[in-house]
Amino acid sequence: MRKSAARLLTLATLSMALATAPVITKVYANGDDSPSPPASSSKKGKKHSEASPSRELAKFVDGYHAARSAIYDRHDYAAAIDQLKALGHDDNAAVANLIGYSYRKLGDYKLAQVWYERALKADPNHVKTWQYYGLLQVEEGNRDQALYHLHKIAELAGKDNEEYRSLAAALEQPPGTGLVY
């Protein structure tokens, strides 16, 4: 009887520890399917929310996924920019990167560059940003800069990943083909 009670107590303790532990997610070179959690759960200048950190994280992730869907499924870049900015965490690398991507797809390369640089300031190792920023460089005819971005991806994540292959393929196209990636 004592053995089973001890096991039950251990299981209950472990369950409580897991239930109350902070949620940790990490962004890898997978297209930011799961963005890094925001550094702070409160917006600048506002009082702390009554919502729990896990609820705020879930709201952030849901909003991020809705914006990703607007971008990749519906190609509604303007709406995605609004959705991403509404998250209140545009200093997050994954968020800033998608804002930059959306501006690039809308043809506003200057604003795209601003947002890509903001993403890299937040996370200099954000592989997806290096890829998208490199594609912007290809589109603008800055092949040397695009090569720099390609080498940076190789340094961070190797050559066996979608980000590297995508940028390398764009660089293989003849200059001035007018292709948009």
Q: What is the pLDDT of residues 64-102, one digit of tens each?
A: 999 999 999 999 999 999 999 999 999 999 999 999 999
Longest dimension (CA), the chain: 78
Alpha-carbon distance 167 to 159, whole Å? 11
pLDDT over 80 at 20, yes or no: no
pLDDT value at residue 36: 77
pLDDT value at residue 25: 32
pLDDT value at residue 41: 45
Return the percent helix, strand and coil in the chain, to nearest 5: 65, 0, 35
- The three-state secondary structure class of 28 is coil
Residue type, 48: H
Contacts of 66 (CB under 8 A, 6+ apart): 83
Mean pLDDT over residues 28-36, rounded?
58
Instruction: Give yes or no for a contact between 126 and 30, defined as CB atoms under 8 angstroms apart.
Output: no
pLDDT value at residue 175: 77
Q: What are the structure tokens assigned to 40, written together?
A: 């702070």
Instruction: Give yes or no for a contact between 108 and 79, defined as CB atoms under 8 angstroms apart.
Output: no
